[in-house]
């Protein structure tokens, strides 16, 4: 008899890839999703990319009745339901706290009544704040922060207490959290709540900290989604990608198929229970280079505009140390960034994207969150 998996937020970008991965492996998949207009458009229709075998329940994770119905007959569960957006979280505080924190509490209360064999919760690289750094003397610095005063002087890179240069290194799961936005705080709360309740009620639980996930199916008209989708929306509409600071900030981009594989491994590997794992590519790339490569694959002769602006809550550098996921889960990312971009470009050629970046920038600037 096939095992049944529930994915909260399962009609979304990442959730749909997890569904594909599980269905190929013989699972039956149910998704609980509110079909938020910011992500799915005003019509709130079932997305065309969602596997036809997925049973979709339209409902809010904050609604106990919807959650209980979704959990009926379920063997394993993924909790992805969340509002996503660092900048937006800093002014829609009540909404982000309600969905991410309260929604997780409602979900966990229902799980206590209907325990599952395993729970996997989606966390985020944002919980780290700044990534890990070392200085010229090889000393590690794990509590690095940038001040408003420093950013106002266009001094983008963090420095040690002695004002000497620091150099970014891959960030392991052992780095202490440094929560620079309400979104980061809510994602940390989600992972802690799930691990805590899982331990108390003997529900084996795994937390996965996703880095910058990209691929086809991203919400191109959502200006708070992944940076690749934002850049693509600008380029498709003939506008230059807007790059904050000097564009040399480093990130780790991981394809959604690799993320889905990690999610399936977290479900199946016995030794994963109780653990927290980074899910990234293990490679660093600057945001400026990302914008330039995106323009090339879309065959757009448009250079990014380096704004010199900064946003409250943004970090300078953070890339994943994926050694723990390799060792415990057997996770090995397979999609090379160039190949992933080419695939993304092919998909983008079939899409319409509404560029709402200027609206997003205005919303942040009006609140003093973008300078």
Q: Judge whether residue 134 has pLDDT over 70.
A: yes
Pairing outcome for strands 205-210 and 276-279 = parallel
Place of tokens 């807007």: 242
Rg (CA), the chain: 20
pLDDT for the residue 148 = 85
Q: Rounded mean pLDDT of 6-15? A: 97
| Dihedral pair phi/psi, residue 55, rounded to 5° | -85, 115
The more confident residue out of 184 and 232 is: 184
Buried b (16+ CB within 10 A) or exposed e, 294-307: bbebbebebebebe
Q: Rounded mean pLDDT of 195-213? A: 98
Q: Rounded mean pLDDT of 182-210? A: 97
Q: Rounded mean pLDDT of 43-69? A: 96
Dihedral angle, C-alpha 41, 64, 182, 92, nearest 10 °: 50
| Dihedral pair phi/psi, residue 326, rounded to 5° | -65, -45
Q: Judge whether residue 370 has pLDDT over 60.
A: no
Instruction: For residue 30, give the nearest of 18, 39, 42 by alpha carbon.
Output: 18
Tokens of 36: 């938020």
CA angle (227 as vertex; 100, 296 as ends), nearest 5: 160
Which range is least confidently modeled, 77-81, 162-166, 192-196?
A: 162-166
Angstrom distance (rounded) from CA 48 to CA 246: 38
The more confident residue out of 6 and 361 is: 6
DSSP string, 233-266: HHHHTT-PPEE-TTS--EE-EEEHHHHHHHHHHH
pLDDT-derived band at 227 (thresholds 50, 70, 90) equals confident
Under 8 Å between Cβ of 370 and 310: yes
Angstrom distance (rounded) from CA 371 to CA 363: 12
pLDDT-derived band at 31 (thresholds 50, 70, 90) equals very high
pLDDT-derived band at 270 (thresholds 50, 70, 90) equals very high
DSSP string, 338-360: HHHHHHHHHHHTT------HHHH
Q: Judge whether residue 369 has pLDDT over 60.
A: no
Instruction: For residue 355, give the nearest of 277, 186, 240 by alpha carbon.
Output: 240
DSSP string, 53-74: T-EEEE--TT-HHHHHHHHTT-
Q: Would you tell me how many other CB atoms lie within 10 Å of the CB of residue 17?
A: 24
Q: Rounded mean pLDDT of 118-130? A: 97
| Dihedral pair phi/psi, residue 355, rounded to 5° | -85, 110
Contacts of 185 (CB under 8 A, 6+ apart): 179
Half-sphere exposure of residue 155: CA atoms within 13 angstroms, side-chain side: 13
pLDDT for the residue 226 = 76
**CATH fold group of domain 4-366:** Rossmann fold (3.40.50)
pLDDT for the residue 177 = 94
Q: Judge whether residue 333 has pLDDT over 80.
A: yes
The more confident residue out of 279 and 350 is: 279
Instruction: For residue 69, give the nearest of 50, 55, 54, 48 by alpha carbon.
Output: 55
Whether the model pTM is above 0.85: yes
pLDDT for the residue 53 = 98
pLDDT-derived band at 187 (thresholds 50, 70, 90) equals very high
Instruction: For residue 280, give the nearest of 233, 212, 222 by alpha carbon.
Output: 212
**Enclosing H/E stretch for 323:** helix 323-324
DSSP string, 295-315: HHHTT-----EE----BTT--
Tokens of 288: 């400026």
Angstrom distance (rounded) from CA 341 to CA 343: 5
pLDDT-derived band at 219 (thresholds 50, 70, 90) equals confident
Under 8 Å between Cβ of 210 and 278: no
pLDDT for the residue 43 = 84
The more confident residue out of 137 and 78 is: 78
pLDDT-derived band at 371 (thresholds 50, 70, 90) equals low
What is residue 322's three-state secondary structure? Answer: coil
Instruction: For residue 206, give the nearest of 140, 119, 293, 147 by alpha carbon.
Output: 119
pLDDT in tens, 298-323: 899 999 999 999 887 789 999 999 99
Angstrom distance (rounded) from CA 250 to CA 233: 21
Bridge partners for 76 per DSSP: 5, 118
Q: Judge whether residue 368 has pLDDT over 70.
A: no
Under 8 Å between Cβ of 157 and 144: no
């Amino acid at each position: 008899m096939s095992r049944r998996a529930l994915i909260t937020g399962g009609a979304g970008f990442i959730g749909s890839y997890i569904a594909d991965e599980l269905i190929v492996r013989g699972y039956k998949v149910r998704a609980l999703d509110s079909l938020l207009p910011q992500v799915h458009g005003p019509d709130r229709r079932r997305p065309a990319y969602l596997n036809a075998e997925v049973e979709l329940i339209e409902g809010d994770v904050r609604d106990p009745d919807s959650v209980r119905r979704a959990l009926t007959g379920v063997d394993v569960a993924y909790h992805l339901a969340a509002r996503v957006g660092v900048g937006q979280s800093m002014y829609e505080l009540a909404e982000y706290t309600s969905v991410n924190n309260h929604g997780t509490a409602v979900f966990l209360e229902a799980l206590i009544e209907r325990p599952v064999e395993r729970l996997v919760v989606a966390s985020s690289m944002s919980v780290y704040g700044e990534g890990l750094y070392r200085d010229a003397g090889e000393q590690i610095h794990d509590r690095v922060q940038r001040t408003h005063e420093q950013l106002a002087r266009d001094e983008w890179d963090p420095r040690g207490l002695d004002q000497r240069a620091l150099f970014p290194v891959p960030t392991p799961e052992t780095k202490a959290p440094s929560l620079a936005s309400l979104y980061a705080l809510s994602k940390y709360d989600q992972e802690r709540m799930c691990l805590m309740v899982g331990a108390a009620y003997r529900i084996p639980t795994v937390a996965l900290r996703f880095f910058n996930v990209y691929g086809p199916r991203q919400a191109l008209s959502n200006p708070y989604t992944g940076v690749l989708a934002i850049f693509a929306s600008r380029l498709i509409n003939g506008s230059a990608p807007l790059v904050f600071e000097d564009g040399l900030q480093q990130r780790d981009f991981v394809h959604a198929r690799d993320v889905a594989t990690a999610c399936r491994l977290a479900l199946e590997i016995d030794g994963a229970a109780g653990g927290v794992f980074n899910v990234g590519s293990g490679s660093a790339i600057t945001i400026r280079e990302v914008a330039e490569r995106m323009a090339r694959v879309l065959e757009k002769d448009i250079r990014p505009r380096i704004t010199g602006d900064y946003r409250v809550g943004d970090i300078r550098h953070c890339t994943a140390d994926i050694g723990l996921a390799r060792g415990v889960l057997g996770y090995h990312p397979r999609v090379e960034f160039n190949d992933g971009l080419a695939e993304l470009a092919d998909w983008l050629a079939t899409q319409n994207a509404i560029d709402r970046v200027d609206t997003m920038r205005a919303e942040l600037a009006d609140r003093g969150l973008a300078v």
